[in-house]
Amino acid sequence: MPHMMDDFPLLMSTLYDRAVRLFPTQEIVSVESDRSRVRTTYGETDDRIRRLAAAMDQRLGLGVGDVVGTFAWNNRRHHELYWATACSGRICHTLNIRLFPEQLRYIIGHAGDRVVFVDPDLVPLLEPIASELPVETFVVMGPDASQVGLPNAIAYEELIDGVEPMSSWPELDERSPMMLCYTSGTTGNPKGVAYTQRSTYLHTISNLANFSITSSDNVLPVVPMFHAAAWGYVFQAVTVGAKLTYPGPDLSPAALVDLFETEKVTFSAGVPTVWLGVQQYLTEHPEADVSSMRAFLCGGSAVPRAMIDWYWKNRGILVQQGWGMTETNPVAAVALLKPHMADWEWERKLDVLETAGLPVPGLQVKIVDDEGNELPWDGEAFGELLIRGPWIAAEYYKDPRSPQSFLDGWLRTGDVAKITPDGYIRITDRAKDLIKSGGEWISSVDLENTLMAHPAVAEATVVGVKHPKWQERPVAFVVLRPGAQATEEELVGFLSDKVAKWWLPDRVFFVEEIPKTGTGKFDKKLVRDRYADVLMERGDG
Amino acid sequence: MPHMMDDFPLLMSTLYDRAVRLFPTQEIVSVESDRSRVRTTYGETDDRIRRLAAAMDQRLGLGVGDVVGTFAWNNRRHHELYWATACSGRICHTLNIRLFPEQLRYIIGHAGDRVVFVDPDLVPLLEPIASELPVETFVVMGPDASQVGLPNAIAYEELIDGVEPMSSWPELDERSPMMLCYTSGTTGNPKGVAYTQRSTYLHTISNLANFSITSSDNVLPVVPMFHAAAWGYVFQAVTVGAKLTYPGPDLSPAALVDLFETEKVTFSAGVPTVWLGVQQYLTEHPEADVSSMRAFLCGGSAVPRAMIDWYWKNRGILVQQGWGMTETNPVAAVALLKPHMADWEWERKLDVLETAGLPVPGLQVKIVDDEGNELPWDGEAFGELLIRGPWIAAEYYKDPRSPQSFLDGWLRTGDVAKITPDGYIRITDRAKDLIKSGGEWISSVDLENTLMAHPAVAEATVVGVKHPKWQERPVAFVVLRPGAQATEEELVGFLSDKVAKWWLPDRVFFVEEIPKTGTGKFDKKLVRDRYADVLMERGDG
């Protein structure tokens, strides 16, 4: 028992118990693996969470600090796993379902997952490698595990059936890890970040004021629960007693808009490609009613200005750009307008809304040059963004590669940024995506966003490729909107009065699709590799 | 330097530095001791705060952990003292200017204040006892200290003049005390509560979502800065970058309404007697424009339902009832409506708004009977309210009287409460103010609130006095509104269909004024003492 108030630990179970006690009838809606929609409440779910936690003790032999893997969509059982592990002191290791088999093998082994919970429709992804994994038990997240080709497989509903619910949670050290998230690194093995009770608690509480989420909201996280804890929305929504809507496996624009309409979703969150797809769908379906939606967070990669503009003008929805990464738990900055901007004209507000935003209270940011010297916040100087704070990783989980990514307790983000005099962070590029042409830097992000403002362009990515004279030159890859037409000359012409002349791409390729990474971002590495010699072959220059 | 994210301490300086960097032009308006109004900004104030912190080092010889007393109104220099001490690791001891000399002597000695900062117009209150105080230096909060009868007196503006500002803050342990607040106990010497960096940080962040205070707000704390850190609003407002308006010495309704109107205040906070006075003033001055005000927090004692009703219906202002005490840092519960109540009719909403509210996320509450057994949340059972959490005191500052007030880490609040099934705390009474008549409890708070709903009643208090047959019986003391009339029989008749027959007061006294404590609450102890034998003398029964 604590005898100083400072001995009272910051535990997720405190936030959880209050929410369940105060909001027992609040709804949780979940689309299941079979696409059925299940409606339940905080109160009913609480009973299942406590039985799940008890079953981990009694039937799976998991102690405090043991690691539990999940391989699942956003649904109610995943929600139960989040809270059962957090409250009972286990560590939830959310496995990205889009990882390659060798990456899965590595991270399951590295984290030491003793049990893996898997959605029924995702079982086939694990079956080929299951026998090689050091996992004791697989739990299939449904009523039945009899037809499953996984060793020691049991069904979730059987696991928790007839178990006496855990009535009170253990008193943990607030520094206990409660979640492991691995970054899908483009080189080498993934690196793990341990979210602790304390860091998650502080991320949750500190972000509430940013989004003004209250118990009147209905939050639908499109961002997967296997990406940086669904950006924290599972924890935030429950803490304030909001309704939650989980979309399950179908993340198509049609399915999302159907949920927005029928469940009256007020707030959502996802990467730009999701919202570009929804934009396209809403354009084709003007009758779709998404008027309940007040705002969504968009992050994970740069948010096109044209998209922010479209949602506000056509649907009255505020696109809030957020910035973060797995290592920042993840939300670290949000583009909020300041009071004196309230009367600004819309285009000037867009200048602010298209930035990565202001750091969240509690965090410290700076930009530094190659020698680590701090640069001014003048909106001109750019350098690597460094960040630290009570929910920012200061090391990787059991990984000797940590020193390269941290500097005196600061996380090196790998993002290159400017900061305006009034504190808005403007990401110029990922350090590795910056294009160096004849010794000068070109921002691929700026070029992409400008291209995506062209009415014929659905998606665009720009990468630097080898060039005999300039070392690197920008090349653009464009997906046109259905039915739209544009030529290479037309797009370059469109850019020519918007960016410096030497920034203009040497080539524009029209493609059916831009390859995406496991987290839904443009896979620039793949594009770069595939087109590495395109300018060398032509001998441009 | 921290190497784990959990090593990054929760310090007020982190919140402060961000706010000053992001909102340098945000305004701070301050009414001075001479009633002049001074306008300044976060940026300008920052320079003064850093010079003040440096002067504490260089000119006052104060080290980290030393105690600095303040004896002052709500004004900009008091604001500077709050932040300079918090950021530089000193302890700010806010002295209640309404304490008796012997209480002041006790707490200054007990806390060990080495320096006391005093407002110019409050100097006469300290002069008679200054020579007996173990204080090294008095700093008069203005430009001049030459005419002051205090030993070793210097002027604030001289103190900070020409000092090199402190450029970076010390790295402190988050458990360092940063503020001392003494409760004005009705018996014995006052007891001190130490607010730490961590507890204040968590109180600040956790309460932001409750009040939805943003950088667009203009916050005017009426609650004195010598009462439980002005209920945290100095810290909350700066953390989000809101405008602050400090009212100085004149807390009359006319002066407050003038500030609300001319500064366009959006949010305020104070005790019920303040708002009853403002209500009276607004009734007499229907032309007063307080339309900028969206809500105010009302707490410190029970908030009359009739007042909540009046502000909403007449001025569109939401009265948010808060509950807390010095020991709870202080805000611990706030009466927020839940989403399903949005469509309720107003009278039913009032049933919720007149409660002490829901516990803030992060806190745990329970009610217990005399043996310490937990009672159900059924809205019927009542017992002492116990509370614990990361900003709830678990001991008094260097005080052997702690054990009586704490139970296994829980604070015994001394309040008697019911909790409704949906978690709203309803304070029945202070334990010591409950009236025990013939073995049955009568709530003085319920009687007072019912009386104050009568149109002729401005203020009412009810106390239990000795009775030859029933041990105690309720007696009411009523202040009538100017020009209004009512008889004892009329008021008892008004009550008779609203409370149980045996609750009806044995006497109603009409008085000019109800004596108030140093914190503006009805001084029931004084009333009880003065009228102790009023029923014995009459021989009623």
What are the tens digits of pLDDT across the range B303-347? Answer: 889 999 999 999 999 999 999 999 999 999 999 999 889 999 999
pTM score of the predicted model: 0.89
Q: Which of A80, A327, A448, A459 is flagged as catalytic? A: A327
Q: How many CB atoms lie within 10 A of CB A507?
A: 17
Residue A220 belongs to what H/E stretch? strand A218-221
The answer to whether A106 touches A184, Cβ cutoff 8 Å, is: no
Residue from A1, A6, A197, A355 whose CB has the most chain B CBs within 10 Å, to mutate: A6
The answer to whether A38 touches A214, Cβ cutoff 8 Å, is: no
Give the pairing type, strands A177-183 and A91-94.
parallel
Give the distance from residue A205's alpha carbon to the nearest chain B alpha carbon, in angstroms: 6
Supply the pLDDT for residue B540.
45
Residue B185 belongs to what H/E stretch? none
Tokens of B277: 């006075």
Give the distance from residue B214's alpha carbon to the nearest chain A alpha carbon, in angstroms: 8
Supply the pLDDT for residue A187.
58
- Torsion region of A152: left, alpha or beta (phi above 0 gives left; psi -120 to 50 gives alpha): left
- Written as one string, the DSSP assignment of A394-433 is SS-TT-TTHHHHEETTEEEEEEEEEE-TT--EEEEEEGGG
CA A436 to chain centre: 28
Place of tokens 């290159």: A416
Distance CA B118, CA B133 (A): 14
Residue B178, CA atoms < 13 Å, CB-side half-sphere:
29
Supply the pLDDT for residue B403.
80
DSSP A516: B
Give the distance from residue A541's alpha carbon to the nearest chain B alpha carbon, in angstroms: 45
Q: How many CB pairs under 8 A join A and B?
A: 158
Q: Which of A8, A10, A205 sits opposite B388 (nearest CB)?
A: A8
b/e per residue A469-485 (b: at least 16 CB within 10 A): ebebbbbbbbbbeeeee
Q: Is A519 a catalytic residue?
A: no
- Three-state secondary structure call for residue B85: helix
Phi and psi at A494, nearest 5°, equal: -60, -35
Supply the pLDDT for residue A540.
45
Q: Is B327 a catalytic residue?
A: yes
Phi and psi at A297, nearest 5°, equal: -90, 135
Q: How far is CA A113 from CA A77, A93, B20, in A?
A: 18, 7, 45
Beta strands in A357-403 (DSSP E): 358-359, 364-368, 383-388
Tokens of A82: 């989040």
Give the distance from residue A75's alpha carbon to the nearest chain B alpha carbon, in angstroms: 23
Interacting residues of A351 by C-beta distance below 8 A, sequence separation 6+: none
Supply the pLDDT for residue B185.
58
Tokens of B539: 């021989």
- Contact flag A389-B18 (C-beta cutoff 8 Å): no
**Domains present along chain B, CATH in parentheses:** 12-195 (3.40.50.12780), 363-431 (2.30.38.10), 434-538 (3.30.300.30)
Q: Is B428 a catalytic residue?
A: no
Q: Is B183 a catalytic residue?
A: yes
Place of tokens 């029923």: B535
Q: How many CB atoms lie within 10 A of CB B489?
A: 9
Percent of chain B predicted with pLDDT > 90: 77
Reported as a single tens digit per residue, the pLDDT across A120-175 is 999 999 999 999 999 999 999 999 999 899 999 999 999 999 999 999 999 999 99
Which residues is B429 bridged to in the sheet?
Answer: B416
Distance CA B474, CA B505 (A): 5
Q: Which of A466, A453, A450, A448 is nearest to A514 (CA)?
A: A448
Q: How far is CA A529 from CA A189, A515, A525, A532, B95, in A?
A: 19, 12, 6, 5, 69
DSSP A261: H
Q: Is the dihedral of CA A65, A70, A73, A78 positive or negative?
A: negative
Q: Which of A137, A183, A200, A245 is flagged as catalytic? A: A183
Q: Which residues of B touch A25 (CB under 8 A)?
A: 340
Distance CA B513, CA A195 (A): 58
Distance CA B461, CA B331 (A): 24
Q: Report, as ranges of residue numbers, the positions in chain A whose pLDDT lies below 70.
A: 1-3, 184-187, 519, 537-541
Q: Which of B4, B209, B215 sits opposite A338 (nearest CB)?
A: B215
Interacting residues of B333 by C-beta distance below 8 A, sequence separation 6+: B322, B323, B324, B356, B357, B358, B359, B360, B363, B365, B425
- Asked whether the ipTM of the predicted complex exceeds the cut of 0.90, the reply is no
Phi and psi at A9, nearest 5°, equal: -75, 150
Distance CA B194, CA A488 (A): 69
Burial label for B143, CB within 10 Å (0-12, 13-18, 19+), is: exposed
Residue B36, CA atoms < 13 Å, CB-side half-sphere:
4
Q: Which of A441, A466, A498, A516 is flagged as catalytic? A: A441
Supply the pLDDT for residue A186.
53
- Contact flag A175-B25 (C-beta cutoff 8 Å): no
The answer to whether A459 touches A452, Cβ cutoff 8 Å, is: yes
Q: Is the dihedral of CA B354, B356, B360, B364 positive or negative?
A: negative
Interacting residues of A40 by C-beta distance below 8 A, sequence separation 6+: A27, A28, A29, A30, A76
Tokens of B108: 């200054």
Give the pairing type, strands B91-94 and B67-71.
parallel
Supply the pLDDT for residue B533.
85
- Contact flag A198-B342 (C-beta cutoff 8 Å): no
Burial label for A275, CB within 10 Å (0-12, 13-18, 19+), is: buried
Q: Report, as ranges of residue numbers, the positions in chain B whose pLDDT lies below 50.
A: 1, 539-541
Distance CA A80, CA A54 (A): 13
Q: Which residues of A touch B395 (CB under 8 A)?
A: 3-4
Distance CA A441, CA A383 (A): 11
Place of tokens 């770069």: A528
**Rounded to the nearest 5 degrees, what angle is found at the Cα of B51, between the Cα atoms of B48 and B54?**
150
Supply the pLDDT for residue B401.
80
Q: Which of B79, B359, B91 is nearest to B235 (CA)?
A: B79
Q: Which of A10, A25, A388 sits opposite B8 (nearest CB)?
A: A388
- Contact flag B209-A206 (C-beta cutoff 8 Å): no
